[in-house]
Chain A
Amino acid sequence: MSSPSYYQGLAKTMMFTIILVSFAPLFLITLIVGYQYSVAYKEKVVAHMRELVLKHDQNVDSYLDEKVAEILVLADMGGVASFHDEANLEVLHNSLVRRHGSDFVDLGLVNSQGVQVAYSGPFKLRDANYADADWFKAVKKHQVYVSDVFLGLRGFPHFIIAVLLEAGGQEWVLRTTLDFIAFNKLVENIHVGETGMAFIINRKGDFQTTPRRDMTAEVPFLKCLIKGQNGHLDLVRGRTTMVTEINPSTGQETIFMTSPIKNGNWIMVYQQETSDAFSDLNQARNLAAVILLLGGIGITLMAFFMSRRMARKVEVSDLEKDMMNEQVIEAGKLASVGELAAGIAHEINNPVAIMVEEAGWIQDLLDEGLDKFDNKHEIQRALTQIRSQGTRCKDITHKLLSFARKIDPTIKRVALNGLVQEMVLLCEQRAKFANVHIKTNLSDSIQDVAASPSELQQVFLNLINNAIDAMDPGGGELNITTRMDNGVVLVSIADTGCGIPKANLSRIFDPFFTTKPVGKGTGLGLSIIYGIVNKMGGGITVKSVLDEGTDFILQLPSAGGVEVVQSKDSIPRLLTTNMRI
């Protein structure tokens, strides 16, 4: 039980228990709260992005609508004739520039052949031919047309608003160029975190605004993205759509938030790298991981050292307990010897008295004279008697010595019957005077038990002494039985004494519990027995009926495979026996 591996196991169990108990809640809380937090935070971030995109979306749409409306107002009010007059057109253009800032770069009237007949603006574009321009074809179909951004004749990125007018059976087109830089500012200001930015592209993947950084490498990917969206047009109509993809140009996971504007001709794209968008979350996650790691290390270290210290303390206290137990057994042994003393003293005193009387008798005879009667023969008889009584004394002291040797806790293979008989012999005299008849019924078939012989002697001596005490006035019968039961050696020590009251039955094995008067019993006998039997891996049960007797039953494990430790003093003892024979 007290092997080093036992304490190592104890320390290990303690360590794992501490780690598990302290780590599990920490881990669970971190996991659950972390998960909840990340979900909530992501939702918030995405919602914020969506809001941002929607707002700018509307800004762009309303900007375009506003410009279109202004041109339409102009067209309604002016009429083709007034636009044809270039001076008048310049007045209108100047007015627009004055009231709307530099939004309207120029203003021009184009006839049905695509030739610009009147023009006001910074470029010399009068008589420019737009017959092949996309917007010129488109405006004839749509009446009002806002073009994509293109370089055009001026070789400068711009886009135009064109309105179809009818006058005198002829078709005219009023067109104006919008300031690309002013338009660009609408989305350029969207700048979140490190990588968050917005731009507008058309369906063909041409940039309608200038992105903050060079994105030419990403164009194929973006085209692909938009095409993918075309498949889910209704999704696009549902305003913002979020896609998280690996951006091939940067290799980073990136969130793309797309939203259609200008009736779905253009698409506002907001993109931000995931790690950047959730950087706060990632920071919090890293912090939690670090705390978890440090906490884990702390807990593990603490558990390791604490469990080791505890195990060592348990080991020390076990050692102390073992030492204490040995001392108690030793003390108990002396106490049992003391109890025996009354019987032993009488036992020795009797032969001594006989010897003294015989010596006195010899003296008497010598005083009378050796020649008288058969005095010589009588002296001879007296001497024989003295010798035999001396031998009796020697036997008694030997019996006592065999018991009173120091307790030796070494486990040996013990033949139980012999040991029981020895103890019965030792107690016989005491039993005789207490009118107790000891009956032994020892089975020949019992196996040896593995035990310390001196401790087992102690067990039987205490039990027999107790039994004799229990039958004190009046005497009775003490039955000692040994037998095998399921591989266990059973020893029953049954008396016909006063029995143990039920109230005391649970306490008889407690140390210092005694019903004897002060100074008569130590209250240690049964607790010592309990300790010894327990240590052997055996058990002890009590059956007691008041006024009828008590039966102590010992279950002792048989030695089985236990190695036979040759008792060192058994050989010389055998030799002396042989010599006597």
Chain B
Amino acid sequence: MPATILLIDDEQGFVDTMSKRLIKRGLTVNIACGGEEGIAILESSQTIDVVVLDVKMPGLNGIDVLKAIKATYPLVEVIMLTGHATVESAIEGMKFGAFDYMLKPCVIEELLEKIDEAYDKKQTHETKIIEARARHIELRRGD
């Protein structure tokens, strides 16, 4: 099953075109034009696997959005997109639990690859959690 992603960037033109290209490559894409909108979509859909997030945005910036996502949905993986000048903030993002960062403009294939990796990681985590829960239930039964 292909990943469901959420694209957050303040540039409408960028979000539109990028989403078209990703959809063409078989992904389910949600789009948001700002941090607040992104968090709202994340809450309402609950099926998002990977968030692609621009670091520099007016209003709630990338790092704030990342913190909010990781606080509520620790399993959702976040890939940061950044211009050259904000590499430091991307690295800071990694500290706050982002999966990886990419420089804007990026090659679509590389981005797809990153999304796949992030999706894999998320699935691995989820599988592990499910296994752990199952073991927990087994143990309780064994009582």
- A interface with B by C-beta (< 8 Å): 341-342, 345-346, 349-350, 352-358, 360-361, 364, 382, 385, 389, 432-433, 435
**In the bound complex, do residue B104 and residue A353 qualify as a contact, i.e. CB atoms below 8 Å apart?**
yes
Nearest CB on A from B33, distance (A): 13
**In the bound complex, do residue A349 and residue B83 qualify as a contact, i.e. CB atoms below 8 Å apart?**
yes
In angstroms, Cα B21 to Cα A357, docked, is 8
A350 with B11: in contact, given A432-B58, A433-B56, A433-B57 (CB under 8 Å)? yes
A382 with B17: in contact, given A345-B84, A354-B11 (CB under 8 Å)? yes
A357 with B58: in contact, given A345-B84, A345-B85 (CB under 8 Å)? no
Nearest CB on B from A381, distance (A): 10
Which 4 residue pairs across A and B have the least CB separation, nearest first? Answer: A356-B105, A349-B83, A353-B105, A345-B85
Majority secondary structure of chain B interface residues (helix, strand, loop or mixed): helix
Q: What are 15 inter-chain pairs, A to B, with CB distance below 8 A?
A: A341-B85, A349-B84, A349-B105, A350-B104, A354-B14, A357-B18, A357-B21, A357-B105, A360-B17, A361-B17, A361-B20, A364-B21, A385-B17, A433-B58, A435-B59
Neighbouring B residues of A349 by C-beta, 8 Å? 83-85, 104-105
B134 within 8 A of A: no
**In the bound complex, do residue B61 and residue A433 qualify as a contact, i.e. CB atoms below 8 Å apart?**
yes
Nearest CB on B from A400, distance (A): 14
In angstroms, Cα B83 to Cα A353, docked, is 9
Our pick among B17, B24, B56, B61 for the contact of A357 (Cβ within 8 Å) is B17
Our pick among A350, A358, A432 for the contact of B17 (Cβ within 8 Å) is A358
In angstroms, Cα B75 to Cα A26, docked, is 96
A357 with B14: in contact, given A349-B104, A364-B24 (CB under 8 Å)? yes
In angstroms, Cα B16 to Cα A382, docked, is 11
Neighbouring A residues of B124 by C-beta, 8 Å? none
Neighbouring B residues of A354 by C-beta, 8 Å? 11, 13-14, 17
Neighbouring B residues of A435 by C-beta, 8 Å? 58-59
Q: Which residue of chain B is the closest to A349 with respect to CB atoms?
A: B83
B72 within 8 A of A: no
Neighbouring B residues of A357 by C-beta, 8 Å? 14, 17-18, 21, 105
**In the bound complex, do residue B105 and residue A345 qualify as a contact, i.e. CB atoms below 8 Å apart?**
no
* Bitwise interface map of B from 16 to 44 toward A, beta carbon under 8 Å scored 1, else 0: 01101100100000000000000000000
In angstroms, Cα B14 to Cα A354, docked, is 5
B123 within 8 A of A: no
Nearest CB on B from A364, distance (A): 6
Neighbouring B residues of A353 by C-beta, 8 Å? 11, 14, 104-105
Listed residue (A345, A357, A389, A433) with the most chain B CB atoms within 10 angstroms of its CB: A357
Neighbouring B residues of A433 by C-beta, 8 Å? 56-58, 61
Nearest CB on A from B138, distance (A): 49
**In the bound complex, do residue A346 and residue B56 qualify as a contact, i.e. CB atoms below 8 Å apart?**
yes
In angstroms, Cα B22 to Cα A361, docked, is 10
In angstroms, Cα B81 to Cα A349, docked, is 11
B86 within 8 A of A: yes
Q: Which residue of chain B is the closest to A357 with respect to CB atoms?
A: B17
